[in-house]
């Protein structure tokens, strides 16, 4: 089990494109890895959408996955900076 997992929220649904939509209780970091209750890696945080009072997190799934509504999901924040190094 990865250490440092932080609760994000619960699965709302899976979009037609295969992204997992999570109703957020805690805002995650962009591109952090996302795991379910069984420590199965689902994908990574792609975007945060919706109203600021009740945002949704878009998780880019690693592959087509079956996941039930209301499944609790967690993030494993990335260490270091993300993106290209500028000269």
Query: What CATH number has the domain bearing residue 23?
Result: 2.40.10.230
At 25, list the tokens: 């209780």
Distance from C-alpha of 59 to C-alpha of 76, rounded to nearest angstrom: 13
Residue by residue, what is the 3-state secondary structure of 37-83? CCCCEEEEEEEEECCCCCCEEEEEECCCCCCCCCCEEEEECCCCCCC
Q: Looking at the domain assignment, is residue 35 inside a domain?
A: yes
What digits encode the pLDDT tens for the residues 15-54?
Answer: 999 999 999 999 999 999 999 999 999 999 999 999 999 9
The total number of structural domains in the chain stands at 1
Residue 1 confidence (pLDDT) above 60: no
Q: What is the pLDDT of residue 2?
A: 64
Distance from C-alpha of 24 to C-alpha of 79, rounded to nearest angstrom: 21
Q: Looking at the domain assignment, is residue 22 inside a domain?
A: yes
Distance from C-alpha of 78 to C-alpha of 31, rounded to nearest angstrom: 7
Q: Looking at the domain assignment, is residue 85 inside a domain?
A: no
Q: What is the pLDDT of residue 65?
A: 81
Distance from C-alpha of 21 to C-alpha of 19, rounded to nearest angstrom: 6
Structural domain that includes position 25 = 6-76
Q: Looking at the domain assignment, is residue 30 inside a domain?
A: yes
Q: Looking at the domain assignment, is residue 82 inside a domain?
A: no
């Amino acid at each position: 089990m990865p250490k440092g997992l932080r609760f994000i929220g619960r699965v709302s649904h899976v979009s037609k494109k295969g992204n997992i939509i999570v109703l957020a209780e805690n805002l995650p970091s962009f591109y952090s890895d996302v795991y379910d209750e069984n420590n199965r890696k689902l994908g990574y945080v792609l975007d945060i959408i919706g109203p600021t009072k009740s945002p949704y997190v878009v998780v880019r799934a690693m592959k087509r996955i079956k996941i039930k509504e209301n499944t609790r999901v967690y993030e494993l924040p990335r260490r270091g900076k993300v993106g290209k190094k500028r000269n």
